[in-house]
Amino acid sequence: MKRHWTLILIGAVLGAVGGWLYWSNIGCSSGGCAITSHPVNSTLYGAFVGGLLGSSVHGWWTKKAPNEQQQ
């Protein structure tokens, strides 16, 4: 269970950094974009998506082959 939360946290941190980098390098300067026009929005969105990806990596990582499952 600890690994699950660790992967979510790592994904969220990497996503937050990615969201901020996206805002700083590409972002929307006109203010018309809801997510990328402000650094906080972009960072929080990146953290959310990164956490979701970290959670899905955990599911993929711990999935056992059908012949390895406990009976």
Instruction: Give the pLDDT band (50/70/90) at residue 36.
Output: confident
Amino acid at 26: I
**17 neighbors 47 (Cβ within 8 angstroms):** no
Say if pTM beats, i.e. exceeds, 0.85. Answer: no
Give per-residue pLDDT as tens, 11-32: 999 999 999 999 999 888 777 8
**54 neighbors 6 (Cβ within 8 angstroms):** no
Give per-residue pLDDT as tens, 39-69: 999 999 999 999 999 888 866 766 655 555 5
Query: How far is residue 42's CA from residue 62's CA, in Å, rounded to a whole number?
Result: 30
**36 neighbors 26 (Cβ within 8 angstroms):** yes
